[in-house]
Amino acid sequence: MGVSSPAKLMYKSIPLDWEHIVHIAHELARTRTQTAYNNSDTNVVTTWLPRPVIDLDANLIGFNYIDAAKGSAQAVMECAQAGVDNGIEMIIIADGDSRHSSKRSSASRAVGREKNRMNAMEMEMKLSKSLQGNADQAVIGELSKALEKERNKARRALPHNFANVLKSEVAQHSHALLKFKKSELQADPLICQRAVRGISDIIWSSDSDMVAQRGNSSLQITRYSLQRNGTPNNVVLGTGDRLTASNISMILRQRFPLFLSQEIFDRLQRKYAI
């Protein structure tokens, strides 16, 4: 039996506070910068300032907040602002205007929306018959609610100007630590390429395919919630590499004593050990 999803190959952390993520990001950047300095050929004495970098998968984050009152673009900006406020360079990376048509998740969502549209049409006919037949008001009310629900599901897609809205928001903020990039096609390859080259320290994306594309050692923010003030909370990290999980655990235990007596990455969540 094969592995149905890269998510089954990941070690996932217990829910962490944003303070913990900030500390991890700065420590990873410090290590990355020190390694680059040690490997450099220059003999010039200079000050290397470690700056942590988090790449945000804008479309995936935005899609998770389509139904939220704040909207998709605002949710992405709140995630980015949480990092900027703590000295982290936040790179918002959006999909291009077109995507590869074989992307399974995109095809699946398109099929789902089409089914919702068909269900909505069926609900409309049922509601019409109920109204014509003087049906009970309770029945009509239930059908109306069901119809609205199917219509909302059918519309569950990011607006076509999503990337342009984000670009405009970033330009208005005009902060040195906040940047916007737009991929030619899908954002995943660009995000993974930057991680492989050591440009970013953490990937903010729940897409488990990153493990397959980037490699086991990638560190991702796979799950989180946004508080009313925009601060992320209950942040779950994921990685496919045991050494990365151990390193992150060590970083946290050195700073936060509360982690000394507990396992940070639940190894039981990883179904297939490598």
pLDDT recorded at residue 220: 94
| Mean of pLDDT values over 165-179 | 94
pLDDT recorded at residue 3: 43
| Mean of pLDDT values over 180-200 | 89
Residue that has been written with the tokens 């804008």 in this structure: 58
pLDDT recorded at residue 166: 96
Q: What is the pLDDT of residues 41-80, one digit of tens each?
A: 655 544 556 799 999 999 999 988 987 888 899 999 999 9
- Residue 261, CA atoms < 13 Å, CB-side half-sphere: 2
pLDDT recorded at residue 134: 75
Cβ(11)–Cβ(267) below 8 Å:
yes
pLDDT recorded at residue 168: 96
pLDDT bracket for residue 1 (50, 70, 90): very low
pLDDT recorded at residue 142: 83
Q: Does the pLDDT value for residue 18 go beyond 80?
A: yes
What contacts 40, CB < 8 A, 6 or more positions away?
none
pLDDT recorded at residue 251: 96
* Rounded-to-integer distance, Cα 234 and Cα 16, Å: 5
Query: How far is CA 103 from each of CA 8, 13, 111, rounded to the nearest angstrom?
Result: 20, 28, 12
pLDDT bracket for residue 273 (50, 70, 90): very low
pLDDT > 90: what percent of the chain?
Answer: 43
Q: Which of 44-48, 73-77, 168-172, 255-259 bottoms out in mean pLDDT, i.e. has the lowest?
A: 44-48
115/253: higher pLDDT: 253
Q: What is the pLDDT of residues 92-141, one digit of tens each?
A: 999 987 654 445 555 566 666 667 667 767 777 877 877 777 778 887 78
Q: Does the pLDDT value for residue 256 go beyond 90?
A: yes
- Structure letter (DSSP) for residue 15: P
Which residues, in sequence order, are bridge partners of residue 181? 93
DSSP 134-168: T--HHHHHHHHHHHHHHHHHHT-S--TTHHHHHHH
Which residues, in sequence order, are bridge partners of residue 56? 92, 204
100/172: higher pLDDT: 172
Q: What is the pLDDT of residues 224-252, one digit of tens each?
A: 999 988 899 999 999 988 899 999 999 99
pLDDT recorded at residue 159: 82
The Cα angle at residue 242 between residues 26 and 233, in degrees rounded to 5: 45
Residue 171 identity (one-letter amino acid)? A
Domain 8-101+160-269 CATH assignment equals 2.60.40: no
pLDDT recorded at residue 2: 45
Q: Which of 24-38, 49-63, 130-144, 172-186 bottoms out in mean pLDDT, i.e. has the lowest?
A: 130-144
Residue that has been written with the tokens 């992405």 in this structure: 76
Count of H-run helices and E-run strands, the chain: 9, 8
Closest CA relative to residue 183, chosen from 58, 34, 31: 58
* Rounded-to-integer distance, Cα 226 and Cα 206, Å: 15
Helix (H), strand (E) at residue 88: none
| Mean of pLDDT values over 146-170 | 80
Q: What is the token pair recorded at 247?
A: 């390193």
Closest CA relative to residue 18, chosen from 221, 248, 184, 176: 221
pLDDT bracket for residue 267 (50, 70, 90): low
Average pLDDT along the chain: 82
Q: How many residues does the chain have?
A: 274
